[in-house]
Amino acid sequence: MTQWSLSNHALVSASPEQLNHKQVQKARGGRQLTLHLMQKVTRALNAAVAARLDKEAQAAFVAYPHRQLFNYAKNHDPAWIDPNEPIVPMPPSP
């Protein structure tokens, strides 16, 4: 979320499901979530990112699995390299 410069509100508004600000804040704060909520937040993140990209970048975008977004998820791989790194927008320089 931070890498893509997404706010809590951006995830809530992009979510096709019922997701509220409190749930997103818990996820962002590092609180352990249930599998169902991890998947819900992941779907919202993928939707929010896809909505920000142009057609070319959308074709190259690889959806994030929940096990790579949450380090306590089963089968999390700490050595995983983000395949979307080339299309992540650069943060504005100060």
Task: Report the distance separating Cα 37 and Cα 33, nearest Å.
Answer: 6
- CB neighbours of 81 closer than 8 A, spacing ≥ 6? none
pLDDT over 70, % of the chain? 96
More confident residue, 1 or 53: 53
> Is the model's pLDDT at 76 over the cut of 60?
yes
Give exposure, 64-85, as e/b (b: 16+ Cβ within 10 Å). Answer: bbbbbbbeebeeeeeeeeeebe
pLDDT grade, residue 79 (50/70/90)?
very high
